[in-house]
Structure 1
């Protein structure tokens, strides 16, 4: 071989070796930087036990050393270098995804463990759909109806804001929502001033079910004020990894963000968790349960006022929490608030959930979104269908009682999907949905400690459930200032629920409590060792017996095809 060819061949080989070294150096550098960053993020996340952090860190360092040493010094032949290059490349991808995984977890964790800085109250001036009033200026010299008895502060603030825009008007005050809306419908007044949190109450009666489609907003005022921690303080246990506790999961009837103000507590599920025994008891309380409003002097309602449980959410989740505590004679430690968008987004982020519909749970149509129902058998459903199934009551003879059972079924299906392998590919999307899915008064440290406990102990969680039900009727509700459908309290089932919750807190199964709701013999309640200072053994009410009985047909189905309009930004199909 000529000398020039030999030198050229050497140069080519030398260049190839140099390129290989550059690739190897790049992969080596990336592996060690990504490994170090991952270890840092794991420590910063503070969700893994320290012994597990040490093990993971050592494994990462050892694996990085082995791969880079073999790739740079041991793999001489083409096949060996190729295989090690692939291994190194796969490790780079894995480390990159791992860093993304931890980053999304930390970002979501910071969001969901912090309370919103502000709370908003939105009040609207509403006119009929066919009115020529389109904006604030159109309200000049018009008559605006109010119900100062219900919402004096927000109403006056909104009317003042309207006056500040040089709009002169007159007002006519009414005693309740029914009279207010009737006056608008009859043309006695030109507009009404309505706090948006009361909008949904109108749709609980047949007369005003189409209120949203018959009216429009001419003017709107949103007032923001700081959200104090005491607005939703918790009643913490000493050690969330050892002491049993109860969490209220309250689903409100709104779409969008949770910071837009208080709305109805549409679904109320108590989770009693015993970490030592690995037991979770789900107790559902009917949304229309007729309860005493947890009022205080100057607290928004007269002491002794009654309403249904769902309306207590209009005063905030703490009001709902207190109403349930007083009704069942229990203590709730924490709460979690979610909305309709939360359910839809979380289920869709998981690529749907699996529902096994049993006999008696099937329905021909889901009236909540006017879509085809679910037959007996297994179904893989998206977020909208899962939400509609969880909200459905009109398709069942047992109405609200069956709905709470459906809600428990959806909750368990979401939990199973989260712990399935599918979660790996959907993690980023799920974290994005979770970040705006709920608010809680669980502290960051408590959530961190509980996650550490779960990862270290891996308890085999056993789900148990109980649903309270009651007879329907028609009673005066303070917040609505009118008569509406309610579910009368079932004192026997209240007692059973309390017994079951205390049994799980004690470390027993809720199944150890005899479920005989018609039995008048009261069982002795197990004491709660974790909370010896609290005694709820006698703190329960006598059954409420209405003085007057009203005939109310809640089985009717209303045609909402003209009403269902998601683009409006709210949905009140849960009348």
Structure 2
């Protein structure tokens, strides 16, 4: 009698657990919307029917020990299956929430820069000096910096308007101006110019203004992603740390997904493509000016998106913004990725980080840092930036393969 009561207790407990775990699993399937619309209701209905059938069998055959033991075993197995499924869907939901979190603002830093050997030591020393500012570029950033500088000091100075970033830096070098106002997003651009590679060593920041701008980028949502094709822009900034920092958009990849044919097309636009720029919602940009596509990232993700829409004559439905840290974090979170390096594409050491082991022909397992270095490599290849684009696509495919694996 004691054994029977114990069995009855566990039988009822696992019946309850089966119903609870099935309910949790069904709710997560529904809220995550991971199933196509035409099979979502049938799947959820089947979950309920399976539980109902097991309960009815237990009730109808309560006097048959063999059937009861079998039904009990089924309820234990289903509880384990539903519980495991719920756990992994919960982790998936957390991952998706973390990596698709939308930042409402972008961070901006604009500096007042002087030569490293300048006698100007404090913002107050700027009194009576000539300060170079850009005439048509980053007007908003310049205004913000000067406004914050005025709050710091009441020193009076003369503004000298200049037409371009190279002219501004040259004026600082030649002494035509004593200081310049420059958005930090342009620093890398300056250091890529011939003769200006040591810009950071030859100058120092006297004062820096920090402010935020709106970064609203509404999705052009597709009504049913299981039946209608759509485009995703992956925009990669050349920075570490906060993805909200405005910087160049060095990677611009359009992912076109056709759910009907189950195909994905990756289209990469070279970073140095010279195109008419759409400013988007940037207030410090010359609409329609010709510039490199990478520089649109300084205006914000909306500028990059709308410039590419005009260039390719397409609609971009969704955007995904990443930077160096994003890549390393995603790859490491997945436990590394595996890539297949074609013959002739081996790299002994990476230009981006010579301390890292390169890649060999054939299969390579990469952690986050090596995956990033591989995606950035171009100097080791005759095909240069074109091969770098292929590497980036290989890394994206490997991330997708790992993320969708049973692991």
Which digits, 9 at most, give the CA deviation of each residue in 1:34-59, with x for residues without a partner?
22232223223333235344334433
2:304 match: 320
| Contact 2:277 2:290 (8 Å CA) reproduced | yes
Task: Describe how 1:509-528 pairs up with structure 2 within 5 A.
Answer: none
Q: 1:357 to 1:107 in 2, by over 3 A?
A: closer
**What displacement does 1:372 show?**
3.1
**What displacement does 1:385 show?**
1.3
Secondary structure class of the residue paired with 2:344: coil
In 1, the alpha carbon distance for the partners of 2:133 and 2:22 equals: 63
**What displacement does 1:400 show?**
1.1
**What displacement does 1:357 show?**
0.9
| Contact 1:295 1:305 (8 Å CA) reproduced | no
| Contact 2:215 2:300 (8 Å CA) reproduced | no
2:329 match: 345
Greater RCO, CA 8 A, separation 6+? 1
| Contact 2:140 2:283 (8 Å CA) reproduced | no
In 1, the alpha carbon distance for the partners of 2:154 and 2:13 equals: 69
Larger displacement relative to structure 2 (384-393 or 65-74): 65-74
In 2, the alpha carbon distance for the partners of 1:66 and 1:217 equals: 72
Q: 1:98 to 1:192 in 2, by over 3 A?
A: farther
1:99 match: 86
Task: Describe how 1:5-404 pairs up with structure 2 within 5 A.
Answer: 14=2, 22-48=9-35, 49=37, 51-59=39-47, 62-63=50-51, 66=54, 91-107=78-94, 115-126=102-113, 138-142=122-126, 145-149=131-135, 150-166=137-153, 168=155, 170=157, 173=160, 175=162, 176-181=164-169, 192-211=180-199, 219-228=207-216, 231-232=217-218, 234=220, 240-260=225-245, 262-294=246-278, 300-302=284-286, 305-328=289-312, 330-339=313-322, 340-370=324-354, 371-404=356-389
Give ranges in structure 1 of 5+ residues lacking alignment: 1-12, 423-575
The size of the alignment, in residue pairs, is 397
**Structure 2-normalised TM-score?**
0.78
In 2, the alpha carbon distance for the partners of 1:57 and 1:50 equals: 12
| Contact 1:367 1:394 (8 Å CA) reproduced | yes
In 1, the alpha carbon distance for the partners of 2:53 and 2:20 equals: 12
Give ranges in structure 2 of 5+ residues lacking alignment: none
**What displacement does 1:413 show?**
1.9
Q: 1:396 to 1:58 in 2, by over 3 A?
A: same
In 1, the alpha carbon distance for the partners of 2:116 and 2:48 equals: 65
**What displacement does 1:392 show?**
1.2
1:405 match: 390
**Structure 1-normalised TM-score?**
0.58
Which digits, 9 at most, give the CA deviation of each residue in 1:336-370, with x for residues without a partner?
23222222222222211111111232222211222
**What displacement does 1:310 show?**
1.0
Secondary structure class of the residue paired with 2:143: helix
